[in-house]
Chains A and B, each alone.
Chain A
Amino acid sequence: MNWRKIKIIAWKDLLEVLQNKSVLISLGMVPLIILVVLPLVFLIVAGQTGSADAFKDPDIQIMFERMPAALTQSMQGFNDTQTTIMMILGYLFAPMFLIMPLMSATSIAAESFAGERERKTLEALLYTPATDSELFFGKALAAFLPTLVIAWISFILYSLVLNIAGYPLFGAVWFPLPSWYPLVFWVTPAIAALGVGATVLISTKVQTFMGAYQTSGSLVVIVLALVAGQATGVVYLSAWVGIVLGFIIWLVAGILFFLAIRKFNRKTLLLQSTG
């Protein structure tokens, strides 16, 4: 494989993505709302006089009791307001963070793979000397790398928001919690790879960007399952759970990539674009 060709394919796809306002908006708005606006509002409200009583809600107490002992021990020494914030923004929000790499990866990959066919530029691309593998990896890279960059920038923003807006309540830097490191640096790339692999496979069946994006968007149920799992006490994204979960997602992503590479060949792509 020729690295220069892979790079130029990724460069071209990224240039196109940067010109697509609907993709840009979804890439920018989701992290902004989930990881900046929501926690900021929550921390501002939590800092108001009298809010401490609200955190003594029995439902919150039940959720707290359902948490694994290892996690609750790490919260010892903090007051009710602080533990509630840690539980919600430190643990319950963790799966929400995964929505972002999933959305970024699927929207860029849908734009790159299905969008190319929709705009009828695919055939000219297939007539170039680039091999099927170079085309595949160039396009996959165009979706994978920006997803990681966006996710990591969002993680930095989230950490800043939680520590700066939470400083009046905590009086110290308290975030990131240890469970976030495997989530951000191990599960996030796995989720991005999963999103790319699934979208490429879907793109071989779907003719349009929106079709591919909406179908692959159904992967969000994985994240919603994690949210529900944490809320009901079935599973908690501790560091170890993150490592195991990441391993499983990497495995599934690997299988999807294997299948996608097999599907991504000139014959399949050409027959599909004319059929």
Chain B
Amino acid sequence: METVINVQNLKHYYGEHLALQDLSFQVSRGEVFGLLGPNGAGKTTSVRLLNGMFEASGGKMEVMGFTPGTQGEHIRTVSGVLTETPALYERLTARQNLKFFGTLADMSDSEIAARTDELLKLFDLSDQADVRTGTFSKGMKQRLALARAWLSRPKLLFLDEPTSSLDPEAAVQVRELIADVRQKEGTTVLICSHNLDEAQRLCDHLLIMRKGSALATGTLDDLRKLVSTGLWLQIHLLKPFSDWQSTLSGLKGVRKFELQDETSMKIEVESQENIPQVVSALVMKGAQFLKLQPQEISLEEVYLKLQNINKENGGFHNELAKN
């Protein structure tokens, strides 16, 4: 698949402060790529550098075939950016905001007018087209900001914390719109987020960052394997069961088990082939099953584990990133 973003050993300093160190990743055409990390991890700096806002201190980058350091203007012509705050002109109407940004993106007046109507309708803002955006709710502002980022049909969308500070309903709306944008036009999307649930839902590939460097990169499954190669089973029993420890200790394929309360437990097995023998051993000892549910490790668990491993190692470099 064609590579849209190629970053190799990116390094950046703000004065004396090292903001990015040896960051490398690739984004393929049409995929949704997530940059995850706590505040100060270097996500926003990465987006700024990829858009050629200023030159990097070191490393190599290519975005849509352009070099950001010298061809930022070309990159910004084919990309759209949703900044962390909606950054709308609140004294202007929704239509005036889109007219302004459309003109700066070199769209013709007729193109802007048609696209504005189309996007306002899609984003459910048609009735507010000529209303000053200062009166909009947070959700409406974020939808309009997304419409602005998508206005010129960019081939590449950068979304910085797209649902931060939104209520759950508005966040769902915005997530649906992002999925819609990608599906309708095959746009490549790079999302910066610390909302792990959102990243798990939207992203094909993930890069977990901390203090300017990569902790790990890959699909969610790749990342799960980094922290645990097994499978967790959540078991709920009808009645309390006291023999669980003697039953599961030493049972083939069982790695770990945790009693959560008198009737529920979590068991980590090596693979799904081990499930029947675990169930059978427990039933034989009198356990009465109410529910058994295989549980995949969430991105949140992966993320927290990776961040903790890095904290314990106490530094930038982590071998996980190289896997």
Contact = CB atoms under 8 A, between A and B. Distances in A.
Interface in B53-81: 53-55, 72-74, 76-77, 81
B179 interface: no
B77 A12 contact: no
Given A119-B90, A266-B54, A127 B83 contact: yes
A15 B51 contact: no
A124 B14 CA distance: 21
B148 A124 contact: yes
A267 B81 contact: no
Interface in B187-232: none
Contacts of A19: 91, 132
Contacts of B275: none
Interface in A63-92: none
A172 interface: no
B30 to A, nearest CB: 22
Contacts of A8: 99-100, 103-104
Nearest to B55: A267
Contacts of B103: 4-5, 8
A6 B74 CA distance: 18
B74 to A, nearest CB: 8
A61 interface: no
A127 B81 contact: yes
Interface string B93-131: 000100111011110000000000000000000000000
A60 to B, nearest CB: 49
A121 B88 contact: yes
Interface stretch (A128-136, A180-188, A224-232, A252-260): A128-136
Report the 7 A-B pairs with minimum CB-CB distance, sorted nearest first.
Answer: A124-B87, A267-B54, A19-B91, A128-B104, A127-B81, A8-B103, A129-B76
Interface of B: 14, 48, 51, 53-55, 72-74, 76-77, 81, 83, 85, 87-92, 96, 99-101, 103-106, 132, 145, 148
